[in-house]
Amino acid sequence: MTDGSVGPAGLAVAPPGEPGPESAVTGSGAAVVGRSPGQLAWLRLRRDRTAWVSGGALVFFALVAITAPLIERLYGKGPLDRFTDKLDRNGNPLGYLGGMSGEHWLGVQPRWGRDIFIQIVYGLRTSLMVALTAALLTIVLGVVIGIVAGYLGGKVDAFLSWLTDLTLAFPFYIFCFAFVPIAVAQAYGPTEQEAPWFRPMLLIVVFVLFNWTYSARLVRGQVLTLREREFVEAARASGAGTRHVLFRQLLPNLWAPILVTFSLNVPALITAEAALSFLGIGILEPTPDLGRLISDSVTYIRDDPAFTLTGGITLFALVLAFNLFGDSLRDALDPKADR
């Protein structure tokens, strides 16, 4: 995470002419300004070039995902429209690079004849929707379990820690292979058609069930040190109930690690969702999805490598943007952390 703009103390070095956070500390000439930790973190983040670039990319991806129907209207092609006239007799796209042209920006899907650009636009929407929802629910569950375990201690803590270890002993992907088909078989008969919302919801449930462990451990560790502090004692002495201490006194002190964990959890979930869909366990036709798009493209990798790469590079860019932003966020919130 080191780049040119980072000073020895891990704080962003202010460009000349602009008062940096150091001037607040060292007071070199300027008046001493008091800043809250949140303001300091925001200052550091604003001076981090990586944060700007990755944050910009994230905003772009989010906008694309949100405005997908608008893009479809402007672009004039839907994700399920087929353009078989753009394929040759063997079902391969005409032209270079998988049929990229002014009309089909990223080419045409072999055999199906679908437009790849609009598929990716809608695929981003699926990916982000599943990953963000799952990450949000994961962090809520993890934080609640972690706070309760850390604060109450004793038997509750022992049980919850054991539950964490147990969850970690389940092989995630292979357990998904077992869980998803059984859940589908339970909900639908052999010949029934699955509802389009069922798979995404199922994936979210599986992700939440298996990913809360990390944040729970982290929060538990933090709470273990916090609960001995005076402000907790003071709150309890003035008659505050357990719930008040947990969520009004302790939780506000945990925002920094929670935020960082959340932002690094999203890319991991995007990858997992893509992998499951790639393997045929995740999102199904006709919902557009990045993982399934890559899975389709691998079949034609020999004749149409550009198709494989467009899907893969989109996934890579999305994951990279989230990871870089998460790293920057961690650096800004905790400048002394290992890098």
Partner 1 sequence: MLRFFLKKALLAIATLFTVSVVTFGLFFAVPNNPAELMCGNRKTCSADQQASIERRMGLDRPVVVQYADFMAGIVKGRTFGEGDAARECPAPCLGYSFRNDEPVTDIIGRTLPVTLSIVFGAAVVWLLIGVSVGMVSALRKGTIFDRGAVGLSLTGASMPILLFGPLLLIVLVYETGLLAYPSYVPLTENPGKWAAAMLLPWLALGFINSASYARLARAQMLETLSEDFVRTARAKGMTKIRVYGRHALRAAITPIVTIAGLDLGTYLGGTVVTETIFGFTGLGKASLNAAINLDMPLVMATVLLAALFIVVANLVVDVLYSVIDPRVRLS
Residue 95, Cβ density class (10 Å: 0-12 exposed, 13-18 middle, ≥19 buried): middle
Residue 13 binds partner 1, judged by CB under 8 A: no
Closer Cβ to partner 1, 221 or 305, answer by number:
305
Contact 111, 120 (CB under 8 A): no
Q: Using CA atoms, how far apart are residues 175 and 198, in angstroms rounded to an integer?
A: 18
Q: Using CA atoms, how far apart are residues 278 and 139, in angstroms rounded to an integer?
A: 25
CB of 232 to partner 1, least distance (A): 26
- 3 state DSSP class of 112: coil
Q: How far is CA 239 from the centre of its chain?
A: 40
Written as six digits, the tokens of 320 are: 């990279």
CB atoms < 10 A from the CB of 161, how many? Answer: 15
CB of 194 to partner 1, least distance (A): 13
Q: Using CA atoms, how far apart are residues 192 and 291, in angstroms rounded to an integer?
A: 24
User: What letter represents residue 143's amino acid?
Assistant: V
Contact 262, 250 (CB under 8 A): no
Contact 109, 276 (CB under 8 A): no
Residue 166 binds partner 1, judged by CB under 8 A: yes
Contact 314, 24 (CB under 8 A): no
CB of 307 to partner 1, least distance (A): 10
Closer Cβ to partner 1, 141 or 309, answer by number:
309
CB of 256 to partner 1, least distance (A): 20
Residue 319 binds partner 1, judged by CB under 8 A: yes
Please identify, among the stretches 88-96, 97-105, 213-221, 291-299, the one whose residues bind partner 1 according to the rule CB under 8 A. 291-299
Burial 251-260 (b: 16+ CB within 10 A, else e): beebebbbbb
Written as six digits, the tokens of 14 are: 């202010």
Q: Please give the residues from 168 up to 187 whose contact with partner 1 meets the rule CB under 8 A.
A: 168-171, 173-175, 177-182, 185-186
Please identify, among the stretches 78-86, 200-208, 234-242, 301-309, the one whose residues bind partner 1 according to the rule CB under 8 A. 301-309
Residue 10 binds partner 1, judged by CB under 8 A: no
Residue 280 binds partner 1, judged by CB under 8 A: yes
Which residue in 214, 262, 278, 325 binds partner 1 (CB under 8 A)? 278
Which residue in 327, 331, 333, 335 binds partner 1 (CB under 8 A)? 327
Contact flags string 186-225 toward partner 1, x per CB under 8 A:
x---xx----------------------------------
Say which residues have a Cβ less than 8 Å from residue 10's Cβ, sequence separation at least 6.
331, 335, 336, 339
Which residue in 274, 329, 332, 333 binds partner 1 (CB under 8 A)? 274
Residue 1 binds partner 1, judged by CB under 8 A: yes
Question: Rounded to 5 degrees, what angle do the CA atoms 246, 251, 257 make?
Answer: 140
User: Rounded to 10 degrees, what is the CA torsion of 86, 89, 90, 96?
Assistant: -40
Closer Cβ to partner 1, 135 or 147, answer by number:
135
Contact flags string 126-165 toward partner 1, x per CB under 8 A:
---------------------------------------x
CB atoms < 10 A from the CB of 190, how many? Answer: 5
Residue 275 binds partner 1, judged by CB under 8 A: yes
Please identify, among the stretches 30-38, 116-124, 127-135, 278-286, the one whose residues bind partner 1 according to the rule CB under 8 A. 278-286
- Element (DSSP H or E) covering residue 242: helix 242-244
Size of the site for partner 1 (CB under 8 A): 50
Can you give the binding site for partner 1, defined by CB under 8 A? 1-2, 165-166, 168-171, 173-175, 177-182, 185-186, 190-191, 267, 271, 274-275, 278-281, 291, 294, 297-298, 301-302, 305, 308-309, 311-313, 315-316, 319-320, 323-324, 327, 338-339
